[in-house]
A = this chain, B = another copy of it.
Amino acid sequence: MTTPLRLESLEALDAIDRHGSFAAAAAALYRVPSAISYTISQLENDLGVAVFDRSGHRAVLTPAGRLLLDEGRRILTATRELGAAARRVADNWEPELRIAVDGLIPPTDLWPAIAAFGAEHPAINVRLTEEVLGGTWEALIDDRVDLAVGVADPPAGAGVRRTAYADVAFAFCCAPHHPLAERTHAVSEDELRSHRAVVVADSARRLSPRDAGLLDGQPRLTVASMASKVAALEHGLGVGHVPRAWVAEALAAGRLVEPPLDRPREAAQTWLLWRSGAPGRALAWFIRRLGGDRDQPMPRASQMRS
């Protein structure tokens, strides 16, 4: 139940190794050599283990001493880091900020912000997850993430705040060797229904999954992520709407083409969402960086579009 080791002993051990002698360590720690001697013999007493071999003239580490030095340094580092982390928490900085990016947004969109944050606050971890449709919202309200980026039609819900994020424009794509690729006049909804659609599965675990604007009766290929959807489209496995940012390069390179559509899909307004209540400073940093200042409360359910 009692700690058989004092941090000061490890600190002395570290200083001795770092400076080469008891005397030099004493100087470095603003203490007198006998105090270091005392601290080390106290360590040896606590442990019942010889840390230095004093048979020669200069004290030299025993194998056990070596282990204490090496592992002890890890403990010292962890301890200092813990102190610093506690101070950050008290200062309202989260130890880790968890962000979910919706499949609508290419994760690369966030890299500049994350890089900038990392440069400013190297000690705060950022955990990025990718979610789809309802999964993004669910991750937020289940407290699995602190910030949701790029949610298209946030359901009504108390306790969530939001600010506008990007407008996402869609491209209707298929592979160049797909039957629809040669079309010069617009494709009707009826005609579309006979071609397999590639859709991304809702990543919600708990809430009922939502459809992503699908025409009924259309055959589907369901994949797990937007990246897989793009790959499936490129391989000619079907057709589908994809955020333009995901496929700009593939369209330019000719790996995908855009058949004209009778009723093109409208751009979607997407949002930045976070739970209301006092946000931590890391969260505030990201909200400000990604969303600017246009924070607004979630509308009541009656005001939501379905």
Contacts and interface: CB of A to CB of B under 8 A. Distances in A.
Contact of A3 (B1, B62, B79): B79
Contact of A90 (B3, B29, B49, B89): B49
Identical copies of this chain, number: 2
Interface stretch (A80-88, A146-154, A180-188, A263-271): A80-88
A240 interface: no
A50 B92 CA distance: 12
A212 interface: no
A6 interface: yes
A232 to B, nearest CB: 33
Contact of A5 (B29, B47, B74, B82): B82
The interface centre, meaning the residue of A6, A29, A83 with most chain B CB atoms within 10 A of its CB, is A83
A276 B285 CA distance: 61
A83 B4 contact: yes
A49 B82 contact: no
A19 to B, nearest CB: 12
Interface stretch (A32-40, A65-73, A219-227, A297-305): A65-73
B68 A82 contact: yes
A30 to B, nearest CB: 10
B79 A62 contact: no
A67 B86 contact: yes
Interface string A53-65: 0000000001111
B86 A68 contact: yes
Given A3-B79, A7-B5, A85 B71 contact: yes
Given A90-B50, A95-B67, A4 B85 contact: no
A11 interface: yes
A83 B7 contact: no
A90 B51 CA distance: 9
A9 B292 CA distance: 42
Interface in A77-122: 78-80, 82-83, 85-87, 89-90, 95
Contact of A71 (B1, B11, B82): B82
B80 A4 contact: yes
Contact of A67 (B68, B72, B89): B89
26 contacts: A3-B7, A3-B11, A3-B76, A4-B83, A5-B80, A5-B83, A47-B90, A49-B86, A49-B89, A49-B90, A62-B90, A63-B89, A64-B86, A64-B89, A64-B90, A67-B82, A67-B86, A67-B95, A68-B82, A68-B86, A71-B78, A71-B82, A72-B82, A74-B78, A75-B79, A78-B78
List the 3 closest A-B pairs by CB distance, nearest first: A49-B90, A64-B90, A64-B89
Given A3-B11, A5-B82, A75-B75, 16 more contacts: A3-B80, A5-B7, A5-B83, A6-B7, A47-B90, A50-B90, A62-B90, A63-B90, A64-B89, A67-B86, A67-B89, A68-B82, A68-B86, A71-B85, A72-B82, A74-B78
